[in-house]
Structure 1
Amino acid sequence: MQSNAALHRRRLEAIPRGIANVTAIAADRAENAELWDVEGRRYIDFAAGIAVLNTGHRHPRVMAAVHAQLDRFTHTAFQVVAYEPYVALAERLNALAPIAGDAQTVLFSTGAEAVENAVKIARRATGRASVIAFTGAFHGRSLLTMALTGKVAPYKTGFGPMQGGIHHVPFPSGDITVAESLRALDLLFAASVDPKQVAAIIIEPVQGEGGFHPTPHELLRALRDICDRHGILLVADEVQTGFARTGKLFGIEHSGVEPDLITVAKGLAGGFPLAGVIGRKAVMDACDPGGLGTTFGGSPMACAAALAVLDVIEEERLCERAATIGAALSARIAGFAGRNDLTRVSAPRGLGAMVAFDILDDAGAPDPQAAKRVVARALDRGLIVLTCGPLGQAIRILAPLTIPDAQLAEGLDILEQALARETGE
């Protein structure tokens, strides 16, 4: 039998350390919210491939759709020979997106590709170059998206210089208010960049890597007004918040604000690589033929999977399920607070089934080292869970929306055990 340790040793020799592993286990098989490693040990999965598996590992509807497509063809490159699953998925996303009027969709493979192409489209549609993002944001690790990402270590360290024309405004979390964020934007326009040279403002409806901080609706409404006044395009980065994770199909729907462009990926295709940009037709059609494209983007298997995922979200009412899961998570985490036998934690935060809480030291300060220990103890007990936040101090929960109640409770029981104070703490 292969061991986790042996496979990890091979990994260290064959794969650069720049791509890190949260765990030292290796997957053998998985089903819905459960995963088994190569040594046969079972885990509850509260990571879901970083919000990819909203419909769980290997949902039967998704697997059947992919098998059916495999029996037909696997690849043509859409710009060489078109195919119906791509067109059908674009039609469906156009109809579902919170964009008034006609919409269009272009498909890619990764979230970073989607964000890069959203910027390309915005620049082409507006004839402008600059882009505004927010501190704490995560938009990817490619050269452009790394510049947009609002955190230096580890994403930007040693990879400079960053692309020019990218500006950051403080995100309203912690001690920073919405008014202060908007004041900073005003100062940016006064001191650094003419708003008439800004192509887009990009923002996550809930900051993901930044710590699961929901973007205040007041800020989104103000940004919509600012964009309208200055001819700037508003881009909602829904890579982590999309496809029922927050209790709505798209996270920005909670605010009632309509973006001009939406980037999607992760939860769209049930584990198959697929991403896209959805936007207003007048904006999307600004690019000339050949200005957009990718060899593998909109893979036939991934498109088939995504169509099945959208069916599952609707038929299994996963938006409602996300709200139910989120309520259960928040109630249980709130119960951890104030207990002397547990590591100190903050109040839960997030939206829908996108929930996080901070690990704190006895003085109430963020404690990223303690968060790492909690994650390690959870893994030892059979729970996969991740950290996030500016310092890595937050525990984030991204359980599949199809997780049975009993497994959700089991995972929370393990998390409670992992929070138990050890001797010397």
Structure 2
Amino acid sequence: MSVFAVGVAMIVLEAEARSEDEPTCYSQSCKKAQEERGETLTEEEVESSERVKEDLALELNASIVTTKEKILETEDKLVELVTAIGEYEMDMYASDNAIQPFYNKLNSFKHEVTAAKKAYKTAFEAAESTEDFANAKLLRDEYDAKVLEYELMELEYGVIQSTAVTDEQTYWDKKSELAETKEYLELLKEEVRDLDFDLKMAHRNHQFIVIEISRVCQILEKMAYEDPDFIHKGTCLKYSDLIHLDNTDQSISGEIYDAGWDLQRKKSLYTEYWKYYEQIPNWKIITVIPNDAEIYKKATVITVQAHQVKYVKPPGSKSPTSVQGSINQDLNERYVWTDIYVDRYCTKVSVSPDIHFVELALQQVMKECKDPYESYIPKRTLNIWPDWIAPLPSWMDNILADVEEIIEEIIPEEPEGVVCYSQACKTAFTERGIPVIDP
């Protein structure tokens, strides 16, 4: 009788477990069954749907290839920059070091020009004879030559300064380019990871879902059944608690029977029996009590654990070992997610031993885990430290201490009573219990 009830449950839920799109059949028997229900899809519609998936996969794969080529180019550029940055730095220091010696040389020659000018001016002022004027002219010619040489040296000094500025700017530009290239390389690598993720999700078959009880629970239940004295404190669910979620055809996937400690499934009579269901690509197949290793490879696996699921890795983290985001020290908060764990690819799901969370996880898996995690995964917020007060930086503590000292110096101590001049004032405050101070 119980087996019959199970069969009824499976038939009822068969329709409920489908995607929004109606199932598509390729086999004649399936097509005939759908025609009787008025659910026929043409081969052209099926082909069009498959072509869209294929085009998306090809587009993503092409993007991956292109991005990987960019990564190789960027890595080559990075090696070139790292190798050359030392030369740019040496050029900067060399040109900078050339400024001061040439400046000293220019300044020294300037004194020579000044002395030459003074010499020829003095000669002209003291000249009286033809010979004196001839000597004065020679001195002036020497001065003019030195002025010309000085002007050329000034031009050269300007070039040296300009070169130093250019070399320094080049060095820092290359330094910035190196940092930007490193950042760009990380972005490209991140993009490849995201494209790989999208490709895997686009190419993945979301048709099969497996719900299993953890191995620990299966062993505990069997031991408790075989040994009446064996008692465990676990909160395990049984397959009998979950069988209403199964929508497989037992004649295809294997017959379900009561083994005493729990329901079990016999081996399928068919090899590669899952191909039967693949004829209906839009129909979600939910297998409770899986007994075949191959179905695990094809399915999203929901594992019902022996105890409540708790973890500190934020849901959907790209790195399986990342705990970034699980602590907010500024708010004195740490976060723990509970009851449902879903990996980034929606292939492995762990749930607490609670029917509510099993069904909730199943709903999300049937949607390919596209809902925001916060909409269905419980999150607990805890304090890092009890009675926590945000500490002030040491520099702010010092400032406040100085301010307190200044205030104490400026503001005099309040008198312990009221100063009164008249007797009436003294009497009034005394009657009210307020001390009076003589002026």
Taking structure 2 as the reference length, what is the TM-score of the superposition?
0.21
- If asked which structure has higher relative contact order (CA below 8 Å, sep 6+), I would say 1
Taking structure 1 as the reference length, what is the TM-score of the superposition?
0.21
Between Structure 1 and Structure 2, the one with more strand by share is 1
Which protein shows a greater Rg?
A: 2
